[in-house]
Copies of this chain bind each other. A is one copy, B any other.
Amino acid sequence: MRIGLKEVAAEAGVSRSTASRALSGSPLISAETRAAVEQAAARLNYQPNRLAGALRSKQSHLVGLVLNNLINASFHTIAEVVQRRAADEGYQVMLGITDADPAREKEFLRTLAAHGVDGLIVIGTGKNGATTNALLAEGTGVVNVIRRPADSAAPSVLAADREGAHAATSHLLDLGHERIGFIGGELTADSGRERFAGYEQALRERGLAVDESLVERGPFAPGFGTEAITRLLRRAPRMTALFAANHEAVFGILPTLASTGVSVPGDLSLVCHEDISWLRYWSPAITVVDNGAAELGELAMNLLLQQMKHGDGGRDGAQEARNGRAYRVGAQLVIRDSTAPPATRRDG
């Protein structure tokens, strides 16, 4: 038979209420009683049933994490950080993978709510603001990450895509490059648009205009990277630098450059957006814009913990914590060996 609180209470010679108080750290109990109960619990190897506790106390110590996939490096990095931080604070993480399908995402949000999660971290499609707002109103904590539904009443933790792209482009401009290629995502994607905006802005600040013949946009896939860089090399032989703003495309761009004998940074300086661990081991080590995935996860979890702690306490605090404010985690340019001044050409 499984050991319950009742058995512990009997073993310690006290009532269930007292045993409960002893183990939950209530102050209204004597030190000896607490010790006795703790010893009894240890003797019987008591393992509290969290389900029962959650049902009565309305605190499940469960956090839901909803995201598109676990393949993308930023996503699984965030998942790891969130999980660690949650575990350290006594929360467990329930996982939902949506494939970026809003319907599936909605389904997960409701199911996780049915399981009584105290809070939700949504790295989502941005299409379920209404659902998360409803959960928020019922007292569930919510934090949006990376993408922010237009109508969300929950706080959002966003990457500084525009600033990062601006920094990357400015770095290349500082080195003396003027013909800088751009391979990014479609303008329909938030990150695609923001990063292009940062690129454009940096150029404009130096009095340069975007040359569309240096720009490639396409899906988040390695295959696109291969095609894009091939086209760019043919179309724009005088390009001296490239800003790769499409995470997945990088997987196609790098090998193609290596195999076609383009020397980096000799022939082409290269900056990639989003840090992927092994880019540092590339030869040459790749200069990147680190979007701070770990920090995004960290901050999101902090905001969620804040909400959940205020949850049963004062309404003002909860109100405070539950505003729809957006937070930005700054991007960081990590300069490695793939960027250098352009080769001075006699024929230029």
Residue numbers of A with Cβ under 8 A of B are 2, 47-52, 54-55, 60, 62, 65, 69-71, 76-77, 79-80, 83-84, 87, 92-97, 108, 110-116, 138, 222-223, 225-226, 251-252, 255-256, 258-260, 277-278, 280-284
Instruction: Provide the residues of chain B in CB contact with A80, threshold 8 Å.
Output: 69-71, 97
Q: Please report the C-alpha to C-alpha distance between residue A41 and residue B51 in the assembled complex, in whole angstroms.
A: 24
15 contacts between A and B (CB under 8 A): A47-B114, A48-B114, A49-B114, A49-B116, A70-B70, A70-B76, A71-B76, A71-B80, A79-B95, A83-B96, A84-B97, A92-B115, A94-B95, A252-B281, A259-B283
A51 contacts which chain B residues (CB < 8 A)?
51, 54-55, 60, 115-116
Q: Given A51-B55, A222-B277, A259-B283, 19 other A-B contacts at CB below 8 A? A: A47-B110, A47-B114, A49-B116, A50-B115, A51-B54, A52-B55, A70-B70, A80-B97, A83-B96, A87-B108, A92-B94, A92-B112, A92-B115, A222-B281, A225-B281, A251-B278, A255-B283, A256-B283, A259-B284
- In the assembled complex, the Cα of A92 lies from the Cα of B116 at a distance in Å of 12
Contact A222 B83 (CB under 8 A): no
Tallying the copies of this chain within the complex gives: 2
List residues of chain B with CB within 8 A of the CB of A260: 283
Whole-angstrom CA separation of A110 from B3 in the bound complex: 14
Q: Considering the complex, give the chain B residue whose CB is closest to the CB of A111.
A: B92
The interface residues of chain B lying within 8 Å CB-to-CB of A84 are 97
Max chain B CB contacts within 10 Å: which of A71, A225, A281? A281
- List residues of chain B with CB within 8 A of the CB of A77: 70-71
